[in-house]
């Protein structure tokens, strides 16, 4: 009798396990591309970081200690819905204060979904300094569990030799009026290169592939082997054969790969950074990283063949296995029009609907919790957070028009969404004459093409504060962020903020109540809120700055900057940090960083 009871009890316990991680976050030195050693952000003295794993139904507890000494931090668990626990989502200024140096902070949440995810810092553009790694949620009920022998996680990323704090200063600067993004120095697999993956003949492997990079989309292919896509950003799909896939920053795929019966040859697999994203391509740049399926370690690993062009699988054609039909009755539809432009400090910023995101002083969630019925008025979150109020269970549609010649991968926190339109490049704004798929593809990160558009839909069934932003870390820093305020009335009834989260605000001297400016008396008085730099003076076009700066730069950098300040009106700056005196373009840039302190 006892043993039968145990047999029955074990699975019940297993599905309710608590998985605890203790993460001591510190600097360590690493040289992943064998070209430059640099400080990177490690966990428990190690880098690459540990891959987090859990099973659907588990509770995950992450005890963070920030021992970086000179930077704050946070952790976001990319793609997890955080049902009932939006306060554990991680983006600084949206759902928490930064975790101050020498502070502790606990993330505690339930896992309600299977799939391939990742975790990363969501503070001050910090994750490309190394604080990013895969997060895998196993599923005892996976429709594909009997179709593979073994699973292998594979991260792909771009890599910089310089640190983000320095690169962001250079990026958002009067000396970079066109907004050219820093170009990565290398590409990595699993935070290294020349990766060898031992495989056995005649087996099927499930590769869980995650782009944990800062900027570059990656083409990925395996020589001599076909991939069968079965999962995309946590959504199971009908098997789809692909010779090549494209992963934007933050996207994930699970692919089944069946090995050959003959074990006499090893095969290369390759990732190649999408150079369309780079304004300039340094001669020294190798955009490629290679790994090998090693059938026999005693035979050589062949160099990969060079391709002339890339023809990746179009993710728009994927079909979720659950066949969730199109949300065809829309309750709330709005546009987000993307543009890049200069502000009065001469630097280049990114805009949704002419607004560049500026972090609020009070985390948006804390404003929602402390504002009673006024939580439904978006003004209190500050116009500069691009706040949209969603009512519980509304079907929400976002029409995104990209008035910029770049590709942008957009990510929605707290949801996956149906992707129902994606135009070709140069199609202009959405005109509304498309036929929608009956069973749309769903994922949490989706790319818009240059000067094109897309339309996505989701159901507001997950009360929380959820950011919607481009996942190119440069563009978060320059303001391409909007905020979804989903069912604030439900949040007020269900969410309470743990003591250690409040303590982080106290350590950073940040208010925890009131509107975006920390005003608790008059919620509509936003005086003292962080503001963007002023617009360009009337009649002064962005092209003028570019011409001015470049002509000056050509002459002499120092003289150029003096000439810039001499240009009068244009150089005039307004305080951006409420009382701070450091009025450099870099300070404006830091204040404009949605995730910055």
Ligand X SMILES: *[C@@H]1O[C@H](CO)[C@@H](O)[C@H](O)[C@H]1NC(C)=O
Q: Cα-Cα-Cα-Cα dihedral of 85, 86, 91, 93, to 10°? A: -120
CB of 149 to ligand X, least distance (A): 14
Edge to edge, what strands does the sheet with 464-470 contain?
Answer: 387-390, 481-486, 464-470, 408-412, 445-448
Give the CA angle between residues 554, 556, 558 to the nearest 5°.
135
CB closer to Cu ion, 472 vs 477: 472
Give the CA angle between residues 295, 296, 299 to the nearest 5°.
125
Q: Under the criterion CB under 6 A, does residue 197 sit at the interface with ligand X?
A: yes
269 contacts 293 by C-beta, under 8 angstroms: yes
Interface with ligand X in residues 282-321 (CB under 6 A): 286-288, 306-307
User: Judged by CB under 5 A, which of 76, 408, 415, 501 binds Cu ion?
Assistant: 408
The H or E element spanning position 435 is: none
User: Judged by CB under 5 A, which of 472, 526, 545, 552 binds Cu ion?
Assistant: 472
Q: Under the criterion CB under 6 A, does residue 180 sit at the interface with ligand X?
A: no
CB of 103 to ligand X, least distance (A): 13
The interface partner of residue 475, options being ligand X, Cu ion, none and the CB cut-off 5 to 8 Å by kind, is Cu ion
Contacts of 13 (CB under 8 A, 6+ apart): none
CB of 364 to Cu ion, least distance (A): 21
Residue whose structure tokens are 């082997």? 225
Q: Which two tokens stand for residue 528?
A: 């003292």
Q: Under the criterion CB under 6 A, does residue 462 sit at the interface with ligand X?
A: yes
Distance, in Å, from the CA atom of 568 to the CA atom of 576, rounded to the nearest integer, reads 19
Q: Which two tokens stand for residue 304?
A: 């990969």
Q: Under the criterion CB under 6 A, does residue 582 sit at the interface with ligand X?
A: no
Q: Under the criterion CB under 6 A, does residue 463 sit at the interface with ligand X?
A: no
Instruction: Report the first-to-last Cα separation within the chain, whole angstroms.
Output: 59
CB closer to ligand X, 461 vs 583: 461
Q: How far is CA 466 from the centre of its chain?
A: 12
The interface partner of residue 157, options being ligand X, Cu ion, none and the CB cut-off 5 to 8 Å by kind, is none
CB of 192 to ligand X, least distance (A): 5
For ligand X (CB under 6 A), the number of binding residues is 44
Per DSSP bridges, beta strands 204-211 and 332-342 are unpaired
CB closer to Cu ion, 267 vs 468: 468
User: Judged by CB under 6 A, which of 190, 371, 445, 512 binds ligand X?
Assistant: 190
Which range binds ligand X by CB under 6 A, 23-31, 72-80, 92-100, 245-253?
Answer: 23-31
Q: Under the criterion CB under 5 A, does residue 469 sit at the interface with Cu ion?
A: no
Give the CA angle between residues 241, 245, 248 to the nearest 5°.
145
Distance, in Å, from the CA atom of 316 to the CA atom of 240, rounded to the nearest integer, reads 12
Q: Under the criterion CB under 6 A, does residue 496 sit at the interface with ligand X?
A: no
CB closer to Cu ion, 216 vs 230: 216
Residue whose structure tokens are 């996942």? 471
User: Judged by CB under 5 A, which of 120, 422, 475, 573 binds Cu ion?
Assistant: 475
Q: Which residues bind to ligand X, rule: CB under 6 A?
A: 24, 26-27, 33-34, 39, 45, 51, 59, 65, 67, 70, 81, 83-85, 110, 112, 152-154, 163, 165, 190, 192-195, 197, 272, 286-288, 306-307, 377, 379, 415, 431, 433-434, 461-462, 524
């Amino acid at each position: 009798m006892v043993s039968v009871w145990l047999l029955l009890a074990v699975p019940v316990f297993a599905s309710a396990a608590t998985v605890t991680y203790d993460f001591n976050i510190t600097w360590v030195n690493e040289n992943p591309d064998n070209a430059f050693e640099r400080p990177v952000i490690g966990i428990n003295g190690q880098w690459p970081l540990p891959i987090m794993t859990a099973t659907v139904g588990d509770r995950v507890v992450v005890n963070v200690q920030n021992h970086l000494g000179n930077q704050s931090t946070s952790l976001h668990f990319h793609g997890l819905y955080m049902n009932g626990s939006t306060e554990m989502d991680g983006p600084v200024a949206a759902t928490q204060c930064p975790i101050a140096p020498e502070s502790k902070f606990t993330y505690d949440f339930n896992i309600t979904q299977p799939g391939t995810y990742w975790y990363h810092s969501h503070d001050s553009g910090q994750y490309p300094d190394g604080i990013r790694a895969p997060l895998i949620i196993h599923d005892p009920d996976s429709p594909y569990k009997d179709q593979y022998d073994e699973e292998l996680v594979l991260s792909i990323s771009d890599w910089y030799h310089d640190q983000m704090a320095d690169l962001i200063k250079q990026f958002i600067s009067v000396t970079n009026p066109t907004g050219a993004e820093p170009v990565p120095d290398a590409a990595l697999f699993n935070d290294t290169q020349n990766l060898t993956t031992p495989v056995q003949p005649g087996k099927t492997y499930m590769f869980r592939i995650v782009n944990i990079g800062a900027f570059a989309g990656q083409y990925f292919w395996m020589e001599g082997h076909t991939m069968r896509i079965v999962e995309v950003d946590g959504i199971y799909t009908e098997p789809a054969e692909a010779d090549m896939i494209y992963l934007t920053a933050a996207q994930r795929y699970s692919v089944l790969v069946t090995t050959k019966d003959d074990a006499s040859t090893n095969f290369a697999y390759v990732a190649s950074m999408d150079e369309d994203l780079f304004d300039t391509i340094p001669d020294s740049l190798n955009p490629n990283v290679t790994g090998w399926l090693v059938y026999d370690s005693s035979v050589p690993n062949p160099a990969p063949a060079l391709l002339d062009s890339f023809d990746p699988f179009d993710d728009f054609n994927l079909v979720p296995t659950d066949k969730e039909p199109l949300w065809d009755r829309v309750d709330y539809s709005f546009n987000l029009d993307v543009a890049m432009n200069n502000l009065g400090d001469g630097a280049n910023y990114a805009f949704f609907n002419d607004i560049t995101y500026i972090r609020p002083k009070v985390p948006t969630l804390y404003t929602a919790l402390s504002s009673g019925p006024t939580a439904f008025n978006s003004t209190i979150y500050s116009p500069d957070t691009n706040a949209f109020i969603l009512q519980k269970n509304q079907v929400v549609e976002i029409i995104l028009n990209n008035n910029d010649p770049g590709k942008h991968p957009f990510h929605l926190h707290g949801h996956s969404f149906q992707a129902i339109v994606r135009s070709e490049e140069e199609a202009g704004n959405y005109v509304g004459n498309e036929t929608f798929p009956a069973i749309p593809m769903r994922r949490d990160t989706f790319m818009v093409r240059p000067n094109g558009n897309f339309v996505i839909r989701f159901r507001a069934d997950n009360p929380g504060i959820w950011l919607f932003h481009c996942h190119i870390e440069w563009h978060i820093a320059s303001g391409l962020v909007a905020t979804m305020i989903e069912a604030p009335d439900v949040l007020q009834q269900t969410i309470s903020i743990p003591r250690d989260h409040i303590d982080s605000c106290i350590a950073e001297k940040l208010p925890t109540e009131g509107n975006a400016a920390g005003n608790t008396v008059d919620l509509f008085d936003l005086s003292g809120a962080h503001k963007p730099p002023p617009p360009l003076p009337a009649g002064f076009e962005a092209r003028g700055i570019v011409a001015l700066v470049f002509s000056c730069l050509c002459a002499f950098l120092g003289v150029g900057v003096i000439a810039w300040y001499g240009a009068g009106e244009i150089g005039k700056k307004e305080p951006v940090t409420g009382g701070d005196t450091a009025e450099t373009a870099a300070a404006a840039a830091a204040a404009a960083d949605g995730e910055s302190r």
